[in-house]
A and B are shown apart, each in its own frame.
Chain A
């Protein structure tokens, strides 16, 4: 089984602790001049997102987590699972609600996503930073008002609700930043 020695520790390294996959967020080597050395770390649980403090005796080894990020195309959801495909190989993977989480609201069929696989099973998914989605529901726009100013909620085709400028109308397509959930611009189809 692959493992990492504490001397290989760095931010971003994926390891297994108590059966769960973690990523190292911070690593600091501490050692009293004449004493035992330790690696003091902060690690994020890749299943729960929770960050905890963990200290290792320097020189110890920790099991490596088989965690890889893979670009995949989002295909569809059957209501229970979200299905993705690796374009080159046509290999398909099904992610459950725990893996997809809140990001379900940004998933549009055909879009390319990053799927984090742990032992070949989707653990987490990241939608594209920018998605273009159709507005399916919003209050009528104010004719002629194309300046910035007020905003209003708009429901998008994937179910996400974002704040948009008053001039955006139903049926229009907009670009949204999925990291912040903020409207960027209208898109001409």
Chain B
């Protein structure tokens, strides 16, 4: 009955497919003259986002802690400000306490930045890469604003609905709304009602997220309630998150402070703000859009598996 836990959680056959898919990603970016880069996994600074837990690590003999990144975003933006031009990388990222069928605390991310692209131009490219890796996907893609997606699948307007209406809806999932702020209520509704409906047959994008849920994106010029953030979905699963990047250093600092304030309110550790990133923005980062793609989930879809551990060589239970 006991499994041989020394053995990999993915079959060798799946690992071969995984290698082939990563090669396709390399070819995709090489053909577009996007430079492959490597950046550090550990940093003295960390993301302030309250819903992302950075793992703290200690190096012997050094008093201050380091944090494993949850995405290579800040280092990549420093490269962009230093004149790198278009860049991409495949790397491991770490997110605390995210463990389940579709989550592993350590996972592989494909992240890239394109100069002069806005969020819609980058959505085109995300869809092209996904169709390359998952050829069964139909041509084209579907784009819904966050408000349209909620109206269609949850029957309410996420910007206009009373908070009491959101609370009543989540009670229908057996969730106690007490202690959940408006964004958390929207996340619950998105996870239960909206996202599972998206991306069946072809890639779906949700864009124009509430500004409160996009600390690194620029606001929409036409509707300042919304930010230029998007997410990609296939088979009801979130695969990628992207932004038309915020360039304003002062505004970025203000948002980091606001997030740390929310962390303090929730009793979470306050994170050291990345001063190097803010200095890079101050020096001037070119207009660009960037996106992070969860590679393991793409492999899972390509391999026809239904749990992440089946496509990761050694999952969290075997390390």
Contact = CB atoms under 8 A, between A and B. Distances in A.
Interface of B: 49, 51-52, 97-103, 170, 173-175, 179-180, 183-184, 186-188, 190-192, 195, 213-214, 231, 238, 241, 294
A56 B177 CA distance: 10
B238 A33 contact: yes
B41 to A, nearest CB: 19
9 contacts: A28-B100, A32-B238, A35-B184, A35-B213, A36-B183, A36-B184, A36-B187, A38-B175, A59-B97
Contacts of B170: 55
Interface residues of A, number: 21
Contact of B51 (A29, A30, A34): A34
Contact of A29 (B52, B98, B190): B98
Contacts, number: 76
Contacts of B191: 30-32, 35, 38, 40
Interface in A98-144: none
Given A34-B241, A40-B191, A57-B180, 5 more contacts: A30-B102, A35-B186, A36-B180, A37-B98, A55-B170
B52 A53 contact: no
A32 B190 contact: yes
B61 to A, nearest CB: 32
Given A38-B175, A55-B175, A56-B175, A32 B195 contact: yes
Interface of A: 7, 28-38, 40, 52-59
A36 B183 CA distance: 8
B175 A32 contact: no
Nearest to A56: B175
A118 to B, nearest CB: 21
B118 to A, nearest CB: 20
B149 to A, nearest CB: 12
A30 B100 CA distance: 8
Contacts of B195: 32
Nearest to B294: A33
Contact of A35 (B103, B175, B190, B192): B190
B102 to A, nearest CB: 8
Contacts of A53: 173-174
A163 B41 CA distance: 68
B184 A57 contact: yes
A9 to B, nearest CB: 10
Contact of B101 (A29, A37, A59): A29
A87 B193 CA distance: 52
A58 B100 CA distance: 12
Nearest to B101: A28
A106 B271 CA distance: 62
